[in-house]
Amino acid sequence: MTRKWGTSKIMDNYIFSERSKAHLDELAAMTNSELERLKENSAKNGYCKKSIVEAMWYSLSAGGKRIRPALMLEFCRICGGDVKKVLPSACALEMIHTFSLIHDDLPCMDDDDLRRGKPSCHKAYGEAEALLAGDALLNLSYEIISGSDLPAETKITVISELSRDVGINGMIGGQVIDTSYNVEMTGDLLFEMYGMKTGSLLKAACKIGCIAANADETKLKSAEAYAEKLGLAFQIKDDILDVSGDEKLLGKPIGSDKESGKTTYVSLYGLEESRKTAEKLTKEAISELDNFGDNEFLKELTMFLLARNY
Ligand code: GRG
């Protein structure tokens, strides 16, 4: 399976340059090596039984793009913060993302057998272990942030921000709408659901990066506005890939939304309109970055996410 970052002209004048590609790889490498360190620690401390620990790390290391950690680390960097101090929080966010994917794949949710080109967690370890591995990742994430080197007050803000974004008014709330078969899915409700289900963790990533750097209110607001637009574009792109993507690159079968009777942006408005909306939202997201200096990488990353093929 070829899953490489390509250097390409994506839209108007934006190019995912070799420099940005290398920076993204560097952020992913930092995240992966910190995750390895945290894994050693969790094994040493004997958090829970071996198979659960294995299931947690199986899913965490299954080949995710590490977009959320990259956003957190980069927002922290461009706001003048200490990236090393926010690195554990970036890993914690990736753990929460992984928990959501493990639970989303369970038979009681989307019932997906493949994730990132590998058997999903419950296929590899069984349903009970997968459920518990997800629960354990969620809780480990808050433990990691609490024990990190950020100032105590910052940690409280980070935890409060994150728990809101994960909870019933955030990602989980979005999943509740997604799994409520008795609601009529309008375009407005779909956007609300996308903002919660997909946008919340991206928003947490961008805002926590700023919070860790003590950024001012204007920057926080811009980071939030950026993430809201990005979240919608990201999910619409996910819908597009589910219709027109390459199964080998995606690491999962396409057409699952249609098969499960899900309303998506594509099913409501068609492929062409979806592409246009994703592009418009991407441009709007990028314009929010003008409130930050040294924003070239983030602009290119935003474009890359629109052009991605997995
Ligand atoms: C708490 C049970 C429970 C579910 C939460 C967010 C969510 C609901 C489930 C995850 C599945 C899903 C469709 C999420 C939408 C966001 C999205 C497109 C996730 C995929 O993110 P990528 O592309 O994945 O960053 P990788 O594999 O690269 O990390």
Protein residue with its CA nearest to atom 19 in ligand 1 = 198
Please tell me the distance between residue 278's alpha carbon and the centre of ligand 1 in angstroms: 18
Please tell me the distance between residue 104's alpha carbon and the centre of ligand 1 in angstroms: 8
Q: Whose structure tokens read 């894994």?
A: 39
**Would you place residue 242 in the very low, low, confident or very high pLDDT band (cuts 50, 70, 90)?**
very high
Q: Which atom of ligand 1 is nearest to the CA of 65?
A: 28
pLDDT at 5: 47
Res 152 pLDDT > 70: yes
Query: Average pLDDT of the chain?
Result: 92
Q: Which atom of ligand 1 is nearest to the CA of 234?
A: 18
Query: Which residue ranges have their beta carbon within 6 Å of ligand 1?
Result: 64-65, 67, 97, 100-101, 103-104, 109, 116, 171-172, 175, 197-198, 235, 238
What token pair was written down for 106? 């369970």
pLDDT at 6: 46
What token pair was written down for 147? 């024990």
Residues 6 or more apart from 252 whose CB is under 8 A from it?
112, 114, 115, 116, 117
Please tell me the distance between residue 102's alpha carbon and the centre of ligand 1 in angstroms: 9
What is the DSSP secondary-structure string of 212-232? HTT--HHHHHHHHHHHHHHHH
For 20-32, the pLDDT digits (tens) are 999 999 999 999 9
pLDDT at 48: 58
* 309 three-class SS: coil
Q: Mean of the pLDDT values across residues 182-191?
A: 90
pLDDT-wise least confident of 21-25, 92-96, 244-248, 281-285: 244-248
Q: Which atom of ligand 1 is nearest to the CA of 174?
A: 8
pLDDT at 229: 98
For 6-55, the pLDDT digits (tens) are 445 566 666 789 999 999 999 999 999 999 999 888 766 555 567 888 99
Half-sphere exposure for 302 (CA within 13 Å, toward CB): 31
What token pair was written down for 183? 């609601």
**Would you place residue 92 in the very low, low, confident or very high pLDDT band (cuts 50, 70, 90)?**
very high
Q: Which atom of ligand 1 is nearest to the CA of 66?
A: 29
Res 227 pLDDT > 90: yes
pLDDT at 1: 45
Res 259 pLDDT > 90: no
This prediction has a pTM of: 0.94
Longest dimension (CA), the chain: 52
* Paired strand residues for 14: 11
DSSP 289: G
